[in-house]
């Protein structure tokens, strides 16, 4: 008998008018000791399924029908008091955002101990002992001392460890982890996932891993359940679902993720958007966006059928089974074709020893300087006309500040930013304005980057108005043509941003950025706020526009696969420093800097074989403070190869290939001597 058996679960959420049918007949079973991955895009009902198990639905939500059996006992039917004895005791849960999921007014020790005291009926002191024990278990350094800390005194990674300790304190049989690493940086994500995996084995518990990230699933789950629009569409063992996908949605989802090996030049994108669940369609819910859909799909709902490999799917035209339904083929371009002949290109923007420091002040009257935050330190970089440069790094590495300096939003503390050979900051404000029209910014948050009080037409026309380009009619025309270029109808002109989805807003932002015919666009996390299927649409569009407009991109992202997809050359930043730069191949296949290598191995990839066999180089510890960065090489505090030399001397940038440079005393590959003249060969 499975440990947890969800049987035909329906969960609804009441709205002012009508109801959202968030979960529409889901059946999942989890065996003891098993990890089941629940994947899907936002709004597919995966979180609501998790919350239904715990009966922790929002006030307007309720379980309409179905059973949730834990060890044979139906949790839907028991009283609230009985349910309380299950929560935290038989089932533990961890949530997405560790920054907001802990009570700021109570010490972490007391927050863990209260669950122990409640379920194990022990005294406070005894519960505290147990709290220290589990904190030790989750790898909290010096738990004895940390027990009386408040949440805000800990970093995000440590807080998530506290959350895990809390969920595991009573050794539950099942752990529900709802996007446990989405809010964390890649290296911390790897630490937490590794921890969850090993704890699961130690305690012999089962885990329901809810996530949108196929990579996380590939490496950690035994079985995968894919949800779409409140329904389970496919379910199989992890190997099976990646190797022989049957449902077109799963297939499309996998095809829309950029690959880390850079083998895909163009992503698949699912047309349309998910259906409105307050009024779900009668047939297959994916039919409207499916490339294989027939009338049968629109009229009838396909049942979930299971084949002999214990692989179930709900589709009339499964991929790879009916002979006439070929798989999606993606255009693959060889690395060599894409390679840019840099010798022919002229530099568009040059950053010369650029640093940016922010003063930290104290005191109300005197504003004494208490320290400086070294956001970017001595960064030199040349951007060639027509190329795409990617900048990767974890939060706080200074990549966004670098981007702001490139578009003249921030003035460097020292160093120069040259555009077409002219210093950006050596101009009068009026002249700077003229130059600025060449430099545009694409924002991360599609909700914050468009003024909600302006119509889309006004928003796109604003740059033309400001720079007094063309007559009124010409501007109107330009707006329409820009809209069509980004794939939106001219009817959008009259509408307001709130009427558009995230992906559409990102297109509107792109249209606005293109209005002035810029040379360089700095895209700061252009797709990280978007769902996977929407993401690929925007990424493809960015590539198309680069070709038609001859754009140069600087793509800033924490997501290494996105950067790999877009960029010709990639720079890796750590704590304000550029530590390595090179082509996609150099960085991803042949990294020289230990940080680059560790960062890459931390990224979960949607390939089970690779994920399960991968030798992980997990970076220990947390990012040091940028107010007081370590001496010498800034990465040395977390580096396996570090010696005394690394603390004493800052490593200089050295070459490892024509376009490949890194700053490390003990690089992973050998340096090459480049003789001038011969390099081009």
Site for another protein in 183-242 (CB under 8 A): none
Nearer to another protein, 84 or 345 (CB): 84
The CA–CA distances, whole Å, from 210 to 23, 100, 420, 471 equal 14, 19, 48, 53
* Residue window 597-636: x/- pattern of binding to another protein, with contact defined by CB under 8 A: ----------------------------------------
Dihedral class, residue 420 (left if φ above 0, else alpha if ψ from -120 to 50, else beta): left
Q: Does 289 bind another protein (CB under 8 A)?
A: yes
Nearer to another protein, 144 or 490 (CB): 490
Q: Does 120 bind another protein (CB under 8 A)?
A: no
Nearer to another protein, 160 or 235 (CB): 160
The angle that helices 456-466 and 472-485 make with each other, rounded to 10 degrees, is: 120
Among 73, 325, 362, 477, binds another protein (CB under 8 A): 362
* Residue window 520-549: x/- pattern of binding to another protein, with contact defined by CB under 8 A: --------------x-xx--xx--x-----
Nearer to another protein, 289 or 558 (CB): 289
Q: Does 439 bind another protein (CB under 8 A)?
A: yes
Q: Does 128 bind another protein (CB under 8 A)?
A: no
Q: Which stretch binds another protein (CB under 8 A): 137-145, 306-314, 405-413, 653-661?
A: 405-413
User: Scanning residues 482 to 511, which ones bind another protein (CB under 8 A)?
Assistant: 483-484, 487-492, 494-496, 498-501, 503-504, 509
Q: Facing residues of 7 across strands?
A: 67
Q: Which stretch binds another protein (CB under 8 A): 211-219, 443-451, 632-640, 665-673?
A: 443-451
Q: Facing residues of 93 across strands?
A: 176
Among 67, 259, 291, 641, binds another protein (CB under 8 A): 291
The CA–CA distances, whole Å, from 307 to 172, 301, 348 equal 32, 18, 58
- Please work out the total of residues on this chain that contact another protein, with binding judged by CB under 8 A: 107
Taking the complex as a whole, the smallest distance from the CB of residue 465 to another protein amounts, in Å, to 9
Q: Does 127 bind another protein (CB under 8 A)?
A: no
Nearer to another protein, 448 or 672 (CB): 448
Nearer to another protein, 124 or 612 (CB): 124
CA-based end-to-end distance of the chain: 66
Taking the complex as a whole, the smallest distance from the CB of residue 340 to another protein amounts, in Å, to 21
User: Of the candidates 272, 214, 301, which has an alpha carbon nearest to the alpha carbon of residue 24?
Assistant: 301
247, two tokens:
């449902």
Nearer to another protein, 69 or 535 (CB): 535
Taking the complex as a whole, the smallest distance from the CB of residue 481 to another protein amounts, in Å, to 10
The CA–CA distances, whole Å, from 420 to 324, 415, 416, 438, 490 equal 54, 16, 12, 10, 35
Q: Are 213 and 189 in contact (CB under 8 A)?
A: no
Using alpha carbons only, what angle is made at residue 438 by residues 498 and 565, rounded to the nearest 5 degrees? 70
Q: Are 262 and 588 in contact (CB under 8 A)?
A: yes
User: Of the candidates 377, 345, 389, 417, which has an alpha carbon nearest to the alpha carbon of residue 555?
Assistant: 389
Taking the complex as a whole, the smallest distance from the CB of residue 110 to another protein amounts, in Å, to 9
Q: 476 by DSSP, 3-state: which?
A: helix
Among 325, 411, 433, 648, binds another protein (CB under 8 A): 433
Whole-angstrom Cα distance, residue 515 to residue 460? 7
Among 372, 467, 590, 655, binds another protein (CB under 8 A): 467
User: Scanning residues 90 to 109, which ones bind another protein (CB under 8 A)?
Assistant: 92-93, 95, 97, 100-106
Among 277, 376, 579, 598, binds another protein (CB under 8 A): 277
Whole-angstrom Cα distance, residue 19 to residue 12? 6
Lookup result for tokens 């606005």: 512
Q: Does 400 bind another protein (CB under 8 A)?
A: no
Reading across the β-sheet that carries 19-30, which strands appear in turn? 19-30, 4-14, 61-70, 73-74
Half-sphere exposure of 646 (CA within 13 A, CB side): 19
Nearer to another protein, 114 or 222 (CB): 114
The CA–CA distances, whole Å, from 63 to 47, 89, 289, 303 equal 14, 22, 29, 22
Nearer to another protein, 241 or 488 (CB): 488
Q: Does 474 bind another protein (CB under 8 A)?
A: no
User: Scanning residues 313 to 342, which ones bind another protein (CB under 8 A)?
Assistant: 328-329, 331
Among 270, 383, 417, 570, binds another protein (CB under 8 A): 270
User: Of the candidates 65, 74, 66, 28, which has an alpha carbon nearest to the alpha carbon of residue 206?
Assistant: 28
Among 272, 320, 426, 621, binds another protein (CB under 8 A): 272
Whole-angstrom Cα distance, residue 173 to residue 19? 33
User: Scanning residues 21 to 80, which ones bind another protein (CB under 8 A)?
Assistant: 43, 54, 56
The CA–CA distances, whole Å, from 222 to 34, 254, 353, 448, 523 equal 7, 18, 49, 39, 37
Taking the complex as a whole, the smallest distance from the CB of residue 367 to another protein amounts, in Å, to 8
Q: Facing residues of 12 across strands?
A: 62
User: Scanning residues 141 to 170, which ones bind another protein (CB under 8 A)?
Assistant: 150, 152-153, 163, 166-167
Nearer to another protein, 316 or 447 (CB): 447
Using alpha carbons only, what angle is made at residue 122 by residues 120 and 124, rounded to the nearest 5 degrees? 125
User: Of the candidates 507, 512, 510, 498, which has an alpha carbon nearest to the alpha carbon of residue 453?
Assistant: 498
Taking the complex as a whole, the smallest distance from the CB of residue 23 to another protein amounts, in Å, to 16
User: Scanning residues 573 to 602, which ones bind another protein (CB under 8 A)?
Assistant: none
Q: Are 24 and 280 in contact (CB under 8 A)?
A: yes
């Amino acid at each position: 008998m499975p440990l947890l058996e969800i049987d035909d679960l329906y969960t609804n959420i009441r709205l002012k008018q009508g109801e959202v049918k968030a979960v529409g007949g889901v059946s999942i079973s989890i065996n003891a000791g098993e990890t089941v991955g629940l994947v899907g895009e936002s709004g597919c009902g995966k979180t609501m399924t998790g919350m239904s198990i715990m009966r922790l639905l929002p006030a307007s939500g309720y379980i309409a029908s179905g059973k949730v059996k834990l060890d044979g006992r139906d949790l839907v039917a028991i009283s609230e008091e009985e349910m309380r004895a299950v929560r935290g005791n038989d089932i533990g849960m961890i949530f997405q955002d560790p920054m907001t999921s802990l009570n700021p007014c109570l010490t972490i020790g007391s927050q863990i101990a209260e669950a122990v005291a409640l379920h194990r009926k022990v005294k406070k002191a005894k519960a505290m002992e147990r709290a220290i024990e589990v904190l030790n278990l989750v790898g909290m350094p010096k738990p004895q001392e940390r027990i009386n800390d408040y949440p805000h005194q800990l970093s995000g990674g440590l807080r998530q460890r506290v959350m895990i300790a809390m969920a595991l304190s009573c050794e539950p049989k099942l752990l529900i982890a709802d996007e446990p690493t989405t809010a964390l940086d890649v290296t911390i994500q790897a630490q937490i996932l590794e921890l969850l995996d090993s704890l699961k084995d130690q305690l012999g518990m089962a885990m329901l891993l809810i996530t949108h990230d196929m990579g996380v699933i590939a490496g950690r789950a035994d079985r995968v359940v894919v949800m779409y629009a409140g329904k389970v569409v496919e379910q199989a063992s992890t190997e099976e679902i990646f190797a022989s996908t049957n449902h077109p949605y799963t297939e499309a989802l996998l095809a829309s993720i950029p690959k880390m090996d850079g083998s895909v030049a163009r992503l698949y994108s699912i047309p349309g958007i998910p259906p409105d669940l307050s009024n779900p369609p009668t047939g297959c819910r994916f039919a409207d966006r499916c490339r294989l859909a027939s009338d049968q799909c629109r009229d009838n709902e396909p049942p979930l059928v299971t084949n002999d490999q214990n692989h179930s799917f709900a589709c009339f035209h499964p991929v790879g089974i009916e002979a006439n339904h070929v798989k999606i083929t993606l255009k693959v371009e060889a690395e060599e074709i894409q390679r840019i002949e840099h010798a022919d290109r002229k530099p568009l923007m040059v950053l010369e020893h650029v640093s940016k420091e922010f003063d930290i002040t104290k005191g109300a009257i005197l504003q004494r300087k208490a320290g400086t935050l070294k956001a970017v330190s001595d960064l030199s970089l040349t951007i060639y006309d027509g190329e795409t440069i990617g900048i990767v790094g974890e939060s706080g590495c200074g990549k966004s500040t670098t981007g702001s300096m490139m578009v003249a939003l921030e003035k460097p503390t020292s160093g120069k930013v040259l555009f077409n050979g002219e210093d950006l900051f050596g101009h009068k404000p009026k002249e700077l304005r003229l130059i600025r029209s060449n430099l545009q910014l694409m924002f991360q948050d599609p909700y914050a980057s468009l003024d909600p009080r302006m119509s889309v037409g006004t928003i796109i026309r604003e740059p033309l108005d400001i720079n007094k380009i063309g007559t009124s009619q010409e501007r109107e025309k330009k707006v329409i043509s820009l809209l069509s270029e980004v794939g939106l109808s001219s009817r959008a002109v009259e509408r307001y941003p709130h009427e558009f989805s995230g992906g559409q807003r990102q297109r509107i932002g792109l249209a606005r950025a293109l209005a002035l015919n810029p040379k360089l666009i700095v895209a700061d996390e252009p797709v990280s706020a978007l769902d996977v299927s929407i993401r690929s649409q925007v990424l493809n569009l960015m590539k198309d526009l680069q070709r038609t407009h001859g754009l140069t991109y600087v793509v800033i992202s924490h997501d290494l696969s996105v950067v790999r997809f877009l960029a010709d050359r990639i720079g890796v930043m750590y704590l304000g420093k550029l530590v390595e730069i090179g082509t996609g191949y150099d960085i991803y296949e042949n990294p020289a800097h230990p940080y680059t290598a560790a960062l890459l191995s931390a990224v979960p990839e949607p390939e089970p074989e690779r994920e399960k066999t991968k030798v992980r180089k997990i970076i220990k510890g947390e990012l040091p403070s940028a107010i007081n960065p370590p001496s010498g090489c800034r990465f040395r505090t977390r580096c396996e190869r570090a010696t005394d030399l690394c603390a004493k001397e800052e490593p200089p940038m050295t070459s490892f290939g024509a376009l490949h440079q890194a700053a490390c005393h003990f690089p992973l590959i050998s340096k090459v001597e480049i003789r001038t003249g011969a390099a081009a060969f």
